[in-house]
């Protein structure tokens, strides 16, 4: 078997979408599982829709999530350049070859005429496709019109009878009748190729063995196969990934800004959680384990485990998964990831020990990094209580607890969780209090809520002086 070579070939027409991240991830994981190569190619021939900064976002996002390409822009490789706008002469040569072989033709129809054709077809509820007016034009006449400077596009001359039959690694046998297919434009009026020509030519020249891409390209595959066959090339193996669906089962739009990877990062989702979650949108591991690293995914990845059915984007599951990583990854890493959220919220985090303690204590109670500042704000200010909390603190038992602990804490020479715990136990025994009467006033004074982290851990974050200050505030 020849070396596995796969590619991720996005267009810089917007920030990288979670669906694009999944396509890149599956290609990368498959390449690594087979000891093959993962190629990045920038398909930037649609200049009207190109978004400034989109290419940089793509490179940064892949790097951030550990998806490293073996060949591509900025890295090179034996098939460079890997940016399509730098390969126009190559596509033009193959477009001319397709015309010479009778597999493509010049089309001179105006945009106005094409709009009129489509309007009639929509009205008659017919398939929207080119009517073939220029299809039978004599090549000499067409070349004269080209030489005269008349505007044109180049279209594929698709077969009009029979069916295209091909095999897909996910869907097995696929058959599409030729009559459903349009004479696709492969070179636009501006001289730039469309995806159908450029991707097919590049996949062949770059020796791509497997094409892993979204299900939306399934219906276009016959056009690509036709180009392969017309040029005498062997097609790659096809792998069309299932759609990603909203919770209402509608298709997740790749142009929806809220579903860009950058948008999810801004909401405080960790890269580890996004990779893990996206991997499960259509791929099913052999075991029931739901949490795994990128390395573990690459080791166990197989095309056989990709399903046909659309994968529902479950936000509840993503929040759960992100929460699991927040709780279990190293606290220093979580604190570093959360810094921007604290700074944007106006927190002074110059005391790194205090900041690290606060993050460590509150990360168990949130699902996203952006929720941490609100959860941890009590460690930068004396907690404000609700009316119910004030009523609890006014009770004589609460007053006794505060007075007792202020005295005991003041006498401590070493401020440790163990010593604090001993003081709380002494308070319980000496005042003969337990349960709500003991713990509610302590938590309210130190955290602002009756529910929260363990008391010794709370005091560790506040430190001795601030802990005593917070307790004193509520003593009448």
Kindly list the distances between the CA atom of residue 27 and the CA atoms of 24, 40, 162, 190, 419, in Å, as whole numbers in the listed order: 5, 10, 33, 32, 55
At residue 257, the pLDDT reads: 52
Res 256 pLDDT > 80: no
Residue 51 sits in the same domain as residue 120: no
Q: Find residue 306's DSSP bridge partners.
A: 283
Q: What is the pTM of this model?
A: 0.90
Residue 164 sits in the same domain as residue 213: no
CB atoms within 10 A of CB 317: 13
Within a domain: 319: yes
The total number of structural domains in the chain stands at: 4
Q: How far apart are CA 298 and CA 291, in angstroms?
A: 14
Looking up tokens 């509520």 gives 474
Residue 274 sits in the same domain as residue 420: no
At residue 259, the pLDDT reads: 86
Q: 425-437: per-residue pLDDT in tens?
A: 999 999 998 889 9
Residue 393 sits in the same domain as residue 451: yes
Kindly list the distances between the CA atom of residue 99 and the CA atoms of 88, 106, 197, 358, in Å, as whole numbers in the listed order: 17, 8, 13, 68
Res 163 pLDDT > 90: yes
Q: 325-365: per-residue pLDDT in tens?
A: 999 999 999 999 999 999 999 999 999 999 999 999 999 99
Q: 206-236: per-residue pLDDT in tens?
A: 999 999 999 999 999 999 999 999 999 999 9
- Give residues with Cβ within 8 angstroms of 147, minimum separation 6: none
The residue annotated as part of the active site, out of 47, 254, 339, 466, is: 254
Q: What is the mean pLDDT of residues 80-106?
A: 97
Q: Higher model confidence: residue 184 or residue 47?
A: 184
Q: How far apart are CA 269 and CA 321, in angstroms?
A: 10
Task: Name the band, by pLDDT with cuts 50, 70 and 90, for residue 253.
Answer: low
Within a domain: 376: no
Q: In residues, how long is the chain?
A: 476
Task: Name the band, by pLDDT with cuts 50, 70 and 90, for residue 1.
Answer: low
* Residue that terminates a domain, selected from 175, 210, 243: 243
267 is catalytic: no
Task: Name the band, by pLDDT with cuts 50, 70 and 90, for residue 265.
Answer: very high
Residue 427, domain CATH: 1.10.10.350
Looking up tokens 């017919």 gives 126
Q: For residue 415, give its domain range.
A: 382-473
At residue 254, the pLDDT reads: 56
Q: How far apart are CA 374 and CA 167, in angstroms?
A: 53
């Amino acid at each position: 078997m020849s070396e596995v070579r796969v590619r991720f070939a996005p267009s810089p027409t917007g920030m990288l979408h979670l669906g694009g991240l999944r396509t890149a991830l599956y290609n990368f994981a498959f390449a690594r599982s087979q000891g093959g190569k993962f190629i990045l190619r920038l398909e930037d021939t649609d200049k009207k829709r190109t978004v400034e900064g989109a290419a940089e976002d793509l490179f940064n996002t892949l790097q951030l999530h550990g998806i490293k390409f073996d060949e591509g822009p900025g890295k090179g490789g034996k098939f460079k350049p890997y940016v399509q706008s730098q390969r126009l002469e190559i596509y033009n040569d193959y477009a001319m070859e397709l015309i010479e072989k009778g597999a493509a033709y010049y089309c001179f129809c105006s945009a106005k005429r094409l709009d009129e054709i489509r309007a009639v077809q929509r009205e008659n509820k017919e398939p929207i496709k080119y009517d073939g007016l220029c299809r039978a034009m004599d090549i000499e006449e067409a070349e004269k019109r080209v030489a005269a400077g008349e505007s044109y596009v180049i279209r594929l001359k698709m077969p009009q009878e029979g069916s295209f039959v091909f095999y897909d690694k996910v869907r097995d046998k696929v058959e599409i009748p030729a009559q459903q297919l349009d004479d696709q434009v492969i070179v636009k009026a501006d001289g730039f190729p469309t995806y159908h020509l450029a991707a097919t030519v590049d996949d062949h020249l770059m020796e791509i063995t497997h094409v892993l891409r979204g299900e939306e390209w399934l219906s276009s595959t016959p056009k690509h196969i036709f180009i392969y066959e017309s040029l005498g090339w062997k097609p790659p193996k096809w792998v069309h990934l299932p759609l990603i669906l909203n919770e209402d089962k509608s298709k997740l739009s790749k142009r929806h800004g809220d579903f860009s990877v950058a948008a999810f990062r801004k909401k405080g989702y960790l890269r580890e959680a996004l990779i893990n979650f996206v991997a499960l949108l259509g791929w099913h591991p052999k075991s029931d384990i739901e949490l795994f690293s990128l390395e573990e995914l690459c080791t166990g990845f197989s095309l056989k485990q990709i399903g046909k059915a659309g994968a529902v984007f479950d936000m509840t599951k993503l929040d759960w998964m992100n929460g699991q990583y927040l709780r279990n990854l190293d606290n220093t890493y979580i604190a570093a990831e959360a810094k921007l959220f604290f700074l944007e919220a106006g927190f002074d985090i110059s005391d790194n020990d205090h900041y690290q303690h606060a993050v460590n204590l509150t990360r168990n109670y949130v699902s996203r990094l952006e929720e941490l500042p609100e959860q941890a704000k009590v460690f930068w200010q004396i907690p404000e209580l609700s009316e119910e909390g004030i009523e609890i603190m006014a009770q004589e038992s609460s007053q006794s607890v505060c007075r007792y602990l202020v005295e005991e804490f003041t006498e401590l020479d070493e401020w440790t969780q163990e010593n604090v715990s001993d003081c709380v136990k002494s308070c319980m025994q000496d005042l003969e209090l337990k349960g709500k009467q003991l713990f509610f006033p302590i938590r309210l004074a130190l955290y602002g809520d009756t529910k929260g982290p363990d008391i010794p851990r709370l005091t560790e974050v506040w430190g001795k002086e601030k802990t005593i200050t917070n307790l004193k505030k509520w003593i009448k």
